Amino acid sequence: MTDAGFVIAAYAVILGGLGLYTLLLWRRLRAAPGNDDEAR
Amino acid sequence: MTELRAEARIALAIAHKDAIAELRGRHAMVSTLFFAAVVLLLFGFALGPDAARLAAAAPGLLWLAIVFAGILAVNRLHLLETDDDAFEQLALYPVARRAIYAGKALGGFAVMLLLGAVVLGAVGILFAVDIGSAWGPLLATVVLGAIGIAAVGTFYAGLTVRLRAREVMLPLLMLPVLAPLLLGAVKATAAALAGDPFGELGAWLQLLVAFDVIMVVAGAATYGYLLED
Amino acid sequence: MKTRILGFVALVTVVVVTVIGLFVVPPDANQGDAQRVMYPHVASAWLAYLSFGVTALCGIAWLWKRDLRFDAVALAGAEIGVIFTAFAIWGGMMWGRPIWGVFWQWEDPRLTTTALLLALYVGYLLFRRLTDDPERRATRAAVLGIVAAIDIPIVHFSVEWWRGLHQTATIAAPDRVLDPAAPMAFVGTLLGFVGAFTLTWLYLMIRRYQLARAEADREEAARVERIVSARTVEAAR
Amino acid sequence: MPQITIYVSPRSVGAPDTRPPAVATTDLARLFAGSPAVAGVSLRVEAGRTVALLGPNGAGKTTLLRVLATALRPSYGSASVDGLDVGRDTHLVRERVAYLSHATGLYDDLTARENLAFAAAMLSTPDPSARIDRALGDVELEARADDRVRDFSAGMRKRLALGRILLGRASLVLLDEPYAALDAEGMVLVDQLLAAWHAAGVTVMLASHTTDRLDALLDGRVTLARGLVAEVSGAGVTSMPPALPQRPRPVVATR
C-alpha cells in the first residue's frame, strides 16, 4: 500500500468516525429520551 | 499529632485483624503463592528451554507473576470483609477513612512483600538467575513494587467490592494504572541483575518511589468515597 | 440554536482544513505524503487529553458540590475522550506504518501512553454502566476519573524514560525523520486542524451533555413521580 | 441474669426535652434502582425514648434504620440524629449511633473475644479487656469467648453483635429485628438490654415483628407501609405527612 493509501485510510476513519458519532448522538438526542440502556 | 497516632493505631488494628484471619482461615496466601509459582512455570514452558533467553526475560516474568498474583491477593483481602457484610460494619465505625485505607493497604503490602520474596527466589532457581549478588537493589525494588501494588490494589478492590462482574473489572481497571510500576520495576530489576552497567538503577527506583507516594496519597484521599453508599 | 451554529461552523472548518491538509499544503521533504496523517493524529491526541482533564475536573466538582450536572459533563468527556483516543491511535498506526514499516512503534511514548489511556477510560465507561444508583455512580466514577488522570502523566513520563534513559530523545530512525525546520505551512495547517477539531469537540461535548442531562432528568422525573404517586396513594387512604 | 451496665456517652444524660430530638427526618426518601424503599418519612423521636418500627416486609423499616445509621445516604429529604445531619456530619453521627443489622458483620476466622477486641479498637473503648469481659458476660458468651465465630449459631452471632454495641457509648441504638433467631433466653436478654438502655436515657429504635412482648418496654410505635408512615402511637414520637405534590426538581442533589 502506498503512503497515500495510509493517509486516506487515516482521514477516512477519523473523519468518518466523527461523522458517525455525531449522527448517532443526534439520533439519540432527537428520539424522545426514551428507555435507553445508557440510562438504565 | 495525637489524631495521626490514633489513626495509625486503628490502621494497625485492621492490618492485625486481617493477618490473623489470613493466617488462620483463608489460606489465600498459600494459594496465591502457588498461583505465582505455576505462572512462572508456564512462562518457562512458553519461553524456554533456552536458558539464556529465560535469564534475559527473567525480570519481566518475575514482575508479571507478582502483578497477576497480586490481583488475587488484594482481592482475597477484601473478600474477607464481604462474608458477613463486615465491610459495611467497618465503614460505620467512627474512624478516619484514610485509617481504614492504611489498614487494608498495610495488609496488602505484607502479602505482596512475601509474594515478591518467594517469586524472586523461584525465579533465581527456575531461570538460573544470580539474585545473590544484587540482593540489595532487588530487595529495594521488591519493597517499592509491593507498596505500589498494595496501594493501587486496595483502592481498586474497595471500588469494586460490591460491583457486578467484579472478577473481570478489578484486573481491567487496575492493570493499566500499574503500567508505570511494572515498567519501572522490570527495568530496575534488570539493571540490578546486570550490575547496573548504565547507572540507571537509581533513576528507576526514584520512579517507583514517586509512583508509590502519589498512589498512596491518592488512595488515602479518595478511599472514603468508596465506602459511601 | 447557538449549538446548531457551532456545529455548522465546526463542520465547515473541518472540511476546509481537510482539503488543505490533503491537497494544498506541500508534502514533507523527507516523509512525503505520510506526514499529512500527523494533522488529524495530533489534533485527536490533544482532544483525548483535554477530554480526560475535563472528566477529572468534573469529578472533583461533583465531590465538592454534589451537583449531578458535573457528572453529566464528566460522562460526556470520558465517552468523547475514548473516541478521540481511538482516532489518535489509529492515526499513529497509519503514520507509523509508512515511516517505520510497522503499525505499532513501542518506542514511541505517545503511542503507548495513548493506548493505556484507551484502556483506562474504556474501564471508566464500563464501570459506569455497572453501577445503578445515580449518586453512587457519580461519586465512584468521579474517584475513578481522578485516579486515572493522576496516572496519565506518570505513564507518559515512565514510557519516555523507558525508551532510553540516556540516549538522545530522537529515535534512531531511518532517513525519513520529520524535517525539523518544518515550514510555516505545516505549523499553520496543524493549528488549523487543532482549531477545527476543538470546535467539533466542543459541539459534541455540548450535545452529549444535553443527552446525558435529558436521560438524567427523565430518570429523575421517574424517581420523583414514583415518590409522588406513593405519597398520593398513602394520603388518599 | 447478670446486671447489664450501659456505658453512656455524656450526650445522652440530661432531661429529654433539653436535648435535640434523637431522630428527626424531613420528607426522607431513599430509592434503589429507581423505586422508593422509603418514599417520604417525616418523623421525630424525642431523646431517651424506646420506639418500635412496625409493618410488613418491604415497608421500609430496614432502609430507614440504615439511613439513620449512615449506612445509606438519603436520596431526597434529610435526616438528623441528635440534631446532626447524617449527610453533612456523618462522622459525628457515627460516634453517637450503634446499629444492629441482619448481617452481624463479624469475622468468621476470629474468636468471639478477638472480634470484640477489634471492635473495641475501632470504637476506642477505654479499658478494653475489662469491658470485653463484661460485655461477653452480659450477653452470656463467656463460655464460648475463645471459639471461632465460624462455629456460632445465628443466635449466638446476634448475641455477640449485641455485645459489640455494649462496647460503645451510643446515644441512639438502632436494632433491626433484634429478637430474630434468638432462643427464649436470648429474647429475655434483649428485654433486659432495652430496659437498661431506657434507664440510661439512651434512645432506641427497633424494627420488629414480635410486638406482643414489647408492651411494657415501648414508649411509642410507628407503623410503616410502602415506604411511608401509616400510623403513629404512644409517647415521644410524632410524624407529619410527606409534602404533596412534589414538582420534579432539576437534578441537583439535596445536600
* Alpha carbon distances (Å) from D239 to A31, D11, D85: 44, 24, 18
Q: With contact defined as beta carbons under 8 Å apart, do B62 and B119 qualify?
A: yes
pLDDT of residue C180: 58
pLDDT of residue C169: 41
Contact C162 B225 (CB under 8 A): no
pLDDT of residue D243: 80
Cα–Cα dist D111/D102, whole Å: 20
The residue in chain C having the minimum alpha-carbon distance to the alpha carbon of residue B186 is C162
Domains of chain D: 10-105+152-240 (3.40.50.300)
- Residue from A8, A11, A14 whose CB has the most chain C CBs within 10 Å, to mutate: A14
pLDDT of residue C178: 54
Q: Indicate the pTM of the whole model.
A: 0.90
Contact C37 A15 (CB under 8 A): no
The average confidence (pLDDT) of chain C is: 86
For the cut 70, the answer to whether the pLDDT of residue C182 exceeds it is: no
For the cut 60, the answer to whether the pLDDT of residue C153 exceeds it is: yes
Chain D nearest-CA distance from C201, in A, is 25
Q: Report the DSSP pairing between strands D237-240 and D228-234.
A: unpaired
**With bands split at pLDDT 50, 70 and 90, how would you rate the model's confidence at D149?**
very high
Cα–Cα dist C54/C77, whole Å: 6
Contact B10 D72 (CB under 8 A): no
Q: With contact defined as beta carbons under 8 Å apart, do B85 and B227 qualify?
A: no
Extract the runs of DSSP E, i.e. beta strands, from chain D: 23-32, 35-45, 50-54, 76-81, 84-85, 97-100, 172-176, 203-207, 220-225, 228-234, 237-240
Residue with cell 493509501: A5
pLDDT of residue D238: 92
Q: With contact defined as beta carbons under 8 Å apart, do D221 and D234 qualify?
A: yes
Enumerate the residues of chain D whose CB falls inside 8 A of the CB of residue B10.
121-122
Domain assignments of chain C as residue spans, ordered by start: 2-16+36-224
Enumerate the residues of chain A whose CB falls inside 8 A of the CB of residue C82.
none
Of B155, B175, B203, nearest to C161 by CB-CB distance is: B203
pLDDT of residue B26: 60
Please, which chains are in contact with D (at least 3 CB pairs closer than 8 A)? B, C
For the cut 80, the answer to whether the pLDDT of residue D247 exceeds it is: no
Which three cell numbers, joined as nine digits, stand for D39?
A: 418514599
pLDDT digits (tens, 9 = 90+) for D39-79: 999 999 999 999 999 999 889 999 999 999 999 999 889 99
Chain D nearest-CA distance from C115, in A, is 34
Contact D106 B93 (CB under 8 A): no
The residue in chain C having the minimum alpha-carbon distance to the alpha carbon of residue A31 is C211
pLDDT digits (tens, 9 = 90+) for A1-40: 677 888 999 999 999 999 999 999 999 988 865 444 343 3
Q: Report the DSSP pairing between strands D97-100 and D220-225.
A: unpaired
pLDDT averaged per 10 residues, chain B (length 229):
90 93 76 90 88 89 93 83 84 95 94 92 86 88 96 93 88 94 94 87 94 96 91
Enumerate the residues of chain C whose CB falls inside 8 A of the CB of residue A12.
none
pLDDT of residue B209: 97
The residue in chain B having the minimum alpha-carbon distance to the alpha carbon of residue C120 is B176
**With bands split at pLDDT 50, 70 and 90, how would you rate the model's confidence at C173?**
very low
Instruction: Name the phi and psi angles at D84, rounded to 5.
Output: -105, 130
Q: What percent of chain C has pLDDT over 70?
A: 91
* Partner C contacted by D91 (CB < 8 A): no
For the cut 90, the answer to whether the pLDDT of residue D16 exceeds it is: no
Among B216, B185, B189, smallest CA distance to B67 is for: B185
Query: Around B105, how many Cα atoms within 13 Å sit in the side-chain half-sphere?
Result: 26
- In eight-state DSSP terms, residue B128 is T
pLDDT digits (tens, 9 = 90+) for C61-108: 999 998 999 999 999 999 999 999 999 999 989 888 888 888 887 777
Q: Report the interhelical angle of D112-123 vs D128-138 (nearest 10°).
A: 130
| Exposed / middle / buried, residue A4 (Cβ in 10 Å: 0-12, 13-18, 19+) | middle
Average pLDDT for D101-113: 92
Contact D106 B9 (CB under 8 A): no
Give the DSSP H/E element, type plus range, for residue A9.
helix A3-30
pLDDT of residue D248: 46
For the cut 50, the answer to whether the pLDDT of residue C171 exceeds it is: no
Enumerate the residues of chain D whose CB falls inside 8 A of the CB of residue C222.
34
For the cut 80, the answer to whether the pLDDT of residue D17 exceeds it is: no
Cα–Cα dist D43/D65, whole Å: 12
Write out the residues of chain B at the interface with chain C, using a CB-CB cutoff of 8 A.
Answer: 155, 159, 163-165, 169, 172-173, 175-177, 179-180, 183-184, 187, 198, 200, 203-204, 207, 210-211, 214-215, 218-219, 222, 225-226, 228-229
pLDDT of residue C230: 84
Of B177, B210, B225, nearest to C143 by CB-CB distance is: B225
